[in-house]
Structure 1
Amino acid sequence: MSTSSNRVSDRHVPETVPGSFAGFFETWLHEQGRDLEAMKDAARAHAKTAESTRSLSKLVGRVIAHYEKYYRVKSDSAEHDVLGMLNPAWRSNLEDAFFWVGGWRPSTAFHLLYSVSGSQFEDHFSTLMMSGPRTGDLGDLSPSQLSKVNDLQQETVKEERELTELMASHQETVADSSMVQLSHIATELTRDDQRSSVSVDPQSVNEQVESTIESKEEKLKEILRKADDLRMRTLKKVVQILSPIQAVHFLTAAAQLHLRVHEWGMNKDRCCHAVAYSQ
């Protein structure tokens, strides 16, 4: 069986274990599904009244709070296992292929916003041509809103690129002098004593390896924290630019995309696993 098929077989969603992020993630997915249905219902029932707008604002605040909870728990879990959080077994191969530094790329928020805005604008184009009432959804973004979104996108892309470069620079340290020297010593220790060219205590080498890897993991924690912070800040700032009903439409699209891509990816992994297992 190929390496890729072995990897597929290992990437099932672990059983929900209290205290584990895998268990929390499954619970959070269900919570996101409930939020999605609540937002869809709220959008359909929106009556363009002050009371309805206040209700939408509360709903948006609740959804944002759920995202903040997700990143708090993720940050706590990364302190104990940053490598696992960067390559989690509860995420599909499809998601891995499109994710960036342990999660969605922050600039994806703008592509999502523009995609939904364009789609909704097309849906209401005939109404607009007839000078009908303003729709109030993402197809009705004002010039001021579009300008703010554009400014925010430029700021976000700049930070994203800086973090990408930081991650790339850190990844290169896997071949720095300390790692090269340790790999040489560790390799020599695996040889027959009479053939080995080094005379060091294996325990001492193991301690050096642990210390070196630990220092690299600390930097990974820092980069992941910055990436998650940028993700959360981007989401909140986009929502702040939008009206409550527009924010509901945007967050609905974000939840739908996340849930469906996760579902499609897990289904694909199960199919690949079944095929590989049958061979």
Structure 2
Amino acid sequence: MESESDSEWEPTFSFFHLWLQQLRSLRHELRACLYTGNHTALPSLITRTIAHYESYYRTRSDLTRSDPVKAFTTPWASSLERSVAYWIAGWRPNTLIHLLHSESGRRFEAQLEDLLLGVHSGDLGDLSPVQVSRIDEIQRRTVEEEDEIGEEMGRIQEGEVHLDLVVGRIGWVMGRADELRMRTLRGVVGLLGSVQAAEFLVAAADLEYGFREYGLERERGRRRGFWV
């Protein structure tokens, strides 16, 4: 039986379900442009995709102000996401940079012979030394801030924050974590060319959508008694 609290949150569940579907649609458009070579459409699509992520965190911010504890539990996410992938109610910002390095390395190996011959693709396998240096700097600052946020969350969990202040502090920590997630995404995309940014955003969407679908499938299997 649906509780009154769950009923109140139904619009929230609907928003995040629709948000994920729209992310999948944007991913499809980005892939289509990359595949067909219609790169003139990429800057607009990249802007729309970044704005789509921003809409997620704006809605999260509204929810956090109304009920920080409920928002922190991310009830719209799968249990696998919450238990394995999430750091302070979402992806760890540094995950995006790890993803970038992984995608860049995979493409670099595939086109190494061409690069040695001076043939440049302009994709993620063709990052310039300046780009690599600036990405490393973003990663350094991101990790430092992750550590600061994690320490504050640890103080809350260990009871070092007065009980009357816990709820508000949880909301503050979540807001700071979400701001760092969005700042990291914008920072990385801002260093990349259009093709590189599109490939990166496709990979980020694959990670988001793929992990969600796998988590939901595990939950469906558990309900059917296939998994424990």
Give TM-score scaled by structure 1 length.
0.75
**What is the CA–CA distance in structure 2 between the aligned matches of 1:143 and 1:163, rounded to whole Å?**
30
Runs of 4+ in 1 over 6 A off after TM superposition: 14-18
Counterpart code for 1:98: A
- Corresponding residue for residue 126 of structure 1: 113
**What is the CA–CA distance in structure 2 between the aligned matches of 1:244 and 1:173, rounded to whole Å?**
46
- Corresponding residue for residue 218 of structure 1: 168
**What is the CA–CA distance in structure 2 between the aligned matches of 1:133 and 1:15, rounded to whole Å?**
58
**What is the CA–CA distance in structure 2 between the aligned matches of 1:126 and 1:266, rounded to whole Å?**
41
Q: Which of 245, 253, 272 is matched with 2:203 structurally?
A: 253
Kindly state the Cα deviation for residue 128 of structure 1 after the two structures are TM-superposed. 2.3
Aligned with 2:93: secondary structure?
Answer: coil
1:107 aligns with 2:94: yes
1:95 aligns with 2:81: yes
Q: Give the 3 Å change call, closer, same or farther, for CA 15–270 of structure 1 in structure 2.
A: farther
Give TM-score scaled by structure 2 length.
0.91
- Corresponding residue for residue 159 of structure 2: 173
1:77 aligns with 2:68: no
Q: Which of 124, 137, 143 is matched with 1:157 structurally?
A: 143
Q: Give the 3 Å change call, closer, same or farther, for CA 33–171 of structure 1 in structure 2.
A: same
Q: Which of 11, 18, 27 is matched with 2:18 structurally?
A: 27
Kindly state the Cα deviation for residue 236 of structure 1 after the two structures are TM-superposed. 0.1
**What is the CA–CA distance in structure 2 between the aligned matches of 1:67 and 1:122, rounded to whole Å?**
30
Counterpart code for 1:143: P
Kindly state the Cα deviation for residue 44 of structure 1 after the two structures are TM-superposed. 1.3
Counterpart code for 2:13: A
1:137 aligns with 2:127: no
Q: How many residues align?
A: 223
Fraction of identical pairs, as percent = 36
Which deviates more, 150-159 or 38-47? 38-47
**Structure 2: 5+ residue stretches without partners:** none
Kindly state the Cα deviation for residue 46 of structure 1 after the two structures are TM-superposed. 2.4
Kindly state the Cα deviation for residue 90 of structure 1 after the two structures are TM-superposed. 2.0
Aligned with 1:173: secondary structure?
Answer: coil
**Structure 1: 5+ residue stretches without partners:** 1-9, 180-211
Q: Which of 242, 245, 262 is matched with 2:192 structurally?
A: 242
Q: What's the CA shift string for 1:155-194, capped at 9, x where partnerless?
A: 00000000000000111127x7x76xxxxxxxxxxxxxxx
RMSD of aligned Cα (Å): 2.3
Contact 1:16 1:22 in 2 (8 A): no
Q: Give the 3 Å change call, closer, same or farther, for CA 15–42 of structure 1 in structure 2.
A: farther
1:39 aligns with 2:26: no
Contact 1:56 1:248 in 2 (8 A): yes
1:271 aligns with 2:208: no
Q: Give the 3 Å change call, closer, same or farther, for CA 118–16 of structure 1 in structure 2.
A: farther
Counterpart code for 1:136: G
Counterpart code for 1:230: L
Kindly state the Cα deviation for residue 124 of structure 1 after the two structures are TM-superposed. 1.3
Kindly state the Cα deviation for residue 17 of structure 1 after the two structures are TM-superposed. 7.0
Task: Decide which structure has the larger Cα Rg and report it.
Answer: 1
Contact 1:128 1:134 in 2 (8 A): yes
